[in-house]
Each structure stands twice: as structure tokens, then as C-alpha cells.
Amino acid sequence: MLMRGKQDSMKKLGYAALRLAQATVVFIVVAGTIPAACEEAHTNAGSSSPEQQAAPDAQASPSIPPWFVFFALVNVYPKMESERLVSIYDNAMRIAAPGYDDAMTVGDLRDLHLLWAPHFGLGRNLSNHWALFVQTGYTGGKVRTKEDDRSIFAGLPLHTDFEIKRTALYAGIGLDYFPFGMPVLQHYDSWGERLCAAKPVLGGRATWTYATYRARARTSIKPFDSMRHLGVELSDEWLIPSFNGNIGVDVPVNEHSALSFNAGYTWFNRRDYDFNASAFTIGFKHYFR
């Protein structure tokens, strides 16, 4: 049974890696055609100002600032399979009080697209194609559901109080590769020009995450809740390494800044059934010349 479970995990990992590789190839091909299409549209427009004529030369030999800082928000979608155990509590409470609604969990916030993790970092451009950086961040929150429902015990109100709290402190190192070079940082007159100057990027991040978890449930019958109640509390913590692979695009804003967008998947060394997650990142970079 254990061997079969490991084999299934390896199959899932291989399938995810294959999908990521396929998406990477497609993304590079599509993204690589954008600058050519923009250049062709620019040429067909008949524009021939000195600044526009100089743009190809500037892009051929861009000046790459060595250092940059960045801030980003990551919309994450972890599996959270351990929260399925909450259904046992929900079913028991529904028997005692038929009008009981399910307790809200962190997984419910995920399904509502409300899990956003902030992080910031410092990086150095090694060349026109490679950027190395360190990053750190913290996120945490509590979900609490309190209800009073008519119970099967002489119709007295059943008071339920369910709470889940999760936190994550993380830090790591990342490496980005720009197959067509980094976007040129210069003045742009419109967002159309900025989008045409965008460049695709492939990234990898190795991260350590310190995660904590606490769940607490209390149940009582009113008006006797001040005298006696049933309660249970569970808590745990982990320090887990992970790897994230992603594909995205950097869009230049001006001479000193750029916007970053990427999508990827994170694999954790342990508790993958809880923490493995797809992630979508929006970031802002500021460069120092």
C-alpha cells in the first residue's frame, strides 16, 4: 500500500512536470512572436521619428541596471486536503441541529480567490538573460464561524464556535531566465508600447516555509453554555522546503521600474496533500542605476 502511494505521487509529480514543460514551450513560442508582431505593426504604421528609429538600437544593446528590489502579491490555491476532516464535525452538528450550516475553512477562502500572500526581495541582474534574488514574506489569518441553531434537544439552541488559524513565514532564493533578453527600461508614451516591449521569463524558487496550524471547536446547549461545553483543539507546526516553477512576463514601465506577472506551481517536500499549490503572482520591480 505504501509503495503504491509513492508510485501514485511520482506519477502525479511527473504529470505536473510534463504539463509545466508543455506550457513553458507554448508560452515561449507565443511570447516570442509578440515583439515581432509589434515591430511589424509599428513599421506598417509608417512611423519614422528619431526616437522610434533609435528604439531598435536601444533594444539591441540595453543598459541593464545591476540591482533591483521588488514587492509582490501571490494568489495561492493550496490543496488543503486535511480540512476534509471538518466534514465529520459538520455532519455531527447537523444531526444535533438540522439547521446548522457548514463551518467556514481556509479552503473556502481559497475557493473565493481570497488567499493573497505578500513578499518582497532584493535581486541582482547577472546578465541580460539571468537575474538572481532573495525573497521573504509572511501571511496568516483566522476563519471563525459562530452559530446558534435549534437543536433536537427539546428545541434548545445549539451554540457552535469553530475556528481555524493558519500562518506561514517563508524565505528563499530565486533565479529568473529571460530567453529573449530583459525588457528595455526607458520612457514609453503608451501602454501599447510597454506591452510590445514585454519579455517572457522562466523562473524557479527554492523556499523554506515555517507553517503553523490551529483548529478549535466548541459546542454547548443554551442557556447552559456558561456552565458546560464540549471542546477540542488541535495544533501543529512544520518547517518544510519547497520548489516553485513558473512562467511569466515582465512589462517595462519606465527607466526605473517594471511589472511582473507569472503563473506556476509549488511542490512541497512534505505534506504535499495540504500545501502543494498553483500560484499567480503580480509584482513591481524598482531598479537602481
Provide the pLDDT for residue 42. 52
Report the percent of the chain where pLDDT is more than 90.
59
Evaluate if residue 178 carries a pLDDT over 90. yes
- Reference 272, options 78, 96, 107, 1; nearest CA is 78
Beta bridge partners of 118: 73
Contact 253, 259 (CB under 8 A): yes
Q: Which three cell numbers stand for residue 261?
A: 506577472
Amino acid at 138: Y
| DSSP H or E run through 33 | helix 2-44
Report the percent of the chain where pLDDT is more than 70.
77
Evaluate if residue 12 carries a pLDDT over 80. no
Name the pairing type of β-strands 67-78 and 257-268: unpaired
Peptide bond into 223 cis (omega under 30): yes
User: Binning pLDDT at 50, 70 and 90, where does residue 54 land?
Assistant: very low
- Reference 259, options 267, 250, 269; nearest CA is 250
- pLDDT tens figures, 87-126: 888 998 999 899 898 899 999 999 999 999 999 999 999 9
Q: Which three cell numbers stand for residue 231?
A: 471542546
The more confidently predicted of residues 154 and 18 is: 154
- pLDDT tens figures, 56-87: 443 444 578 999 999 999 999 999 998 888 88
Summarize the confidence of residues 194-200 as an average pLDDT: 96
C-alpha neighbours within 13 Å on the C-beta side of residue 287: 22
Evaluate if residue 48 carries a pLDDT over 60. no
Provide the pLDDT for residue 7. 46
Q: Which three cell numbers stand for residue 279?
A: 500560484
Provide the pLDDT for residue 222. 81
Evaluate if residue 11 carries a pLDDT over 80. no
Contact 262, 268 (CB under 8 A): no
Provide the pLDDT for residue 117. 94
DSSP single-letter state for residue 103:
P
Residue matched to cell numbers 495540504: 274
Burial profile 256-268: b = 16 or more Cβ within 10 angstroms, e = fewer: eebbbbbebbbbb
Backbone angles phi, psi at 66, to 5 degrees: -75, -35
In this structure, of 35-44, 173-182, 208-217, the range with the lowest mean pLDDT score is 35-44
Query: Where in the chain does DSSP place strands (E)?
Result: 67-78, 116-125, 130-150, 157-177, 199-221, 230-252, 257-268, 277-288
Burial class (CB within 10 angstroms; exposed 0-12, middle 13-18, buried 19+) of 275: buried
- Reference 246, options 30, 68, 74, 29; nearest CA is 74
Provide the pLDDT for residue 36. 55
Evaluate if residue 46 carries a pLDDT over 50. no
DSSP single-letter state for residue 129:
S
Cα 66 to Cα 288: distance, rounded to the nearest angstrom: 7
Three-state DSSP class for residue 202: strand
Contact 270, 240 (CB under 8 A): yes
- pLDDT tens figures, 212-260: 999 999 888 887 766 556 788 889 999 999 999 999 999 999 999 999 9
- pLDDT tens figures, 19-28: 555 555 545 5
pTM of the model: 0.78
Provide the pLDDT for residue 1. 39
Summarize the confidence of residues 139-145 as an average pLDDT: 92
